[in-house]
């Protein structure tokens, strides 16, 4: 049995099948984005033919009905701003926690870990009221809210990674005249690059596709993200323009897929380093 598990072709076959299972829904959305509404409902698994193929009509209609470019812009502002804020704050926090290593640092670290345990549903209604009370019901206020929810995982990964950085490197920087700020940004942060990219990928995929938090906190009359815009493609009495929805979904997937493919080689190194060191 052990010899069979060691055969490379067996694992290749298993993971190929798993990859196909994950990629199939994406391929199905892409295929149906070029078919007419009637054929999406009646023949969802068939390839477009001369009768069902509608070209780029679904994309054009979806962009028009969903106000796609406005939604895309706000999704980009929220995702980029929140990710940068999370990376900047949590990387410095993790470095401080590891290097201080006192009761205050340990208590703060435990608090961040507790953040990973508390379900969002427990706080969402209170959060919605509090965000409105503090005037955070806009894309820029959402940066602060996402910082609170995304900090737990980021601090966990960064803390594990920083534990593997030799302290002698920082001592050498201090001897050369670097203060704490210069030491972190010029010495520590470049070494943390794999972990930074790992956290960035995880946060971007979460932020870009998040529906519930923007829906609860944003002023929807003025701001809509792409997931909310897709939801608004539903018409009266539950009717849905499936063609337009498929087109918008494909357009919404492209940025995050491109970002992931450009950065994915770093993710395993960062996750492993953050999970097992220290």
pLDDT score of 277 = 45
50-54, 181-185, 237-241: which has the highest mean pLDDT? 181-185
Is 196 domain-assigned? Answer: yes
Is 126 domain-assigned? Answer: yes
What one-character-per-residue DSSP string does 24-52 give?
Answer: HHHHHHHHHTTB-HHHHHH-TTSPP-TTT
Is 24 domain-assigned? Answer: no
Alpha-helical runs (H) found in the chain: 2-5, 8-32, 37-42, 57-66, 68-100, 103-117, 124-133, 139-162, 167-175, 180-183, 189-191, 193-209, 212-217, 226-231, 242-263, 267-276
pLDDT at 66 over 90: no
Q: For 184-233, how does the pLDDT look when each residue is reduced to its tens digit (9 = 90+)?
A: 998 899 888 888 988 998 899 899 999 989 998 888 888 899 999 888 87
Q: For 21-42, how does the pLDDT look when each residue is reduced to its tens digit (9 = 90+)?
A: 988 988 999 998 898 888 888 8
Q: How far from 251 is each of 40, 65, 139, 157, CA to CA, in Å?
A: 18, 14, 21, 31
Q: For 151-166, how does the pLDDT look when each residue is reduced to its tens digit (9 = 90+)?
A: 999 999 999 889 888 8
* Residue in the block written with tokens 């609860």: 216
pLDDT score of 96 = 93
Q: For 111-130, how does the pLDDT look when each residue is reduced to its tens digit (9 = 90+)?
A: 888 888 888 778 888 888 88
Give how many domains the chain has, as a whole number: 1
pLDDT at 58 over 70: yes
225 close to 209: Cβ distance less than 8 angstroms: no
Is 264 domain-assigned? Answer: yes
pLDDT score of 93 = 94
Q: What does the mean pLDDT of the chain come to?
A: 85
Question: Domain of 102?
Answer: 61-276
Three-state DSSP class for residue 234: strand
pLDDT score of 235 = 62
Q: Is the dihedral of CA 54, 56, 59, 64 positive or negative?
A: negative
Is 117 domain-assigned? Answer: yes
pLDDT score of 92 = 94
CATH number, domain containing residue 214? 1.10.3720.10
pLDDT score of 274 = 47
Tokens of 105: 């640092």
Q: For 242-270, how does the pLDDT look when each residue is reduced to its tens digit (9 = 90+)?
A: 888 888 999 998 988 888 888 777 666 55
Three-state DSSP class for residue 53: strand
pLDDT score of 5 = 52
Return d(Cα 59, Cα 245) in angstroms, integer: 8
Is 211 domain-assigned? Answer: yes
What one-character-per-residue DSSP string does 235-278 give?
Answer: -GGG-B-HHHHHHHHHHHHHHHHHHHHHHGGGHHHHHHHHHH--
Contacts 24+ apart (CB under 8 A), 75-78: 75/208, 75/225, 75/226, 76/255, 77/139, 77/140, 78/139, 78/142, 78/143, 78/146, 78/207, 78/214, 78/225
Three-state DSSP class for residue 148: helix
Q: For 84-111, how does the pLDDT look when each residue is reduced to its tens digit (9 = 90+)?
A: 999 999 999 999 999 988 899 999 999 8
pLDDT score of 115 = 81
């Amino acid at each position: 049995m052990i010899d069979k598990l060691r055969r490379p072709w067996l694992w290749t076959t298993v993971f190929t099948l798993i990859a196909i299972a994950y990629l199939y829904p994406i391929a199905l959305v892409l295929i149906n984005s070029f078919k007419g509404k009637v054929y999406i409902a009646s023949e969802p698994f068939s390839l477009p033919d001369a009768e069902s193929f509608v070209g780029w009509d679904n994309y054009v209609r979806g962009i028009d009905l969903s106000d796609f470019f406005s939604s895309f812009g706000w999704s980009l502002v929220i995702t980029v701003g929140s990710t940068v804020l999370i990376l900047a704050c949590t990387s410095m926090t993790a470095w401080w926690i590891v290097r201080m290593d006192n009761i205050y640092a340990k208590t703060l670290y435990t608090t961040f870990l507790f953040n990973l345990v508390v379900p969002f549903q427990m706080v969402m209604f209170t959060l919605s009221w509090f965000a409105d009370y503090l005037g955070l019901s806009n894309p820029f206020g959402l940066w602060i809210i996402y910082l609170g929810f995304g900090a737990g995982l980021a601090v966990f990964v960064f803390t594990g990674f920083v534990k593997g950085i030799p302290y002698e490197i920082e001592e050498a920087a201090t001897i050369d005249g670097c203060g704490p700020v210069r030491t972190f940004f010029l010495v520590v942060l470049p070494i943390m690059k794999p972990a930074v990219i790992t956290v960035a990928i995880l946060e971007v995929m979460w932020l870009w596709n998040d529906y519930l938090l923007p829906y609860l906190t944003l002023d929807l009359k003025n701001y809509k993200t792409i997931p909310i815009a897709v939801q608004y493609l539903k018409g009266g009495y539950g009717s849905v323009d499936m063609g337009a929805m498929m087109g918008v979904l494909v357009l919404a997937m492209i940025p995050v897929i491109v970002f992931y493919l450009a950065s994915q080689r770093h993710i395993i190194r960062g996750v492993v380093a953050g999970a097992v060191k220290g």
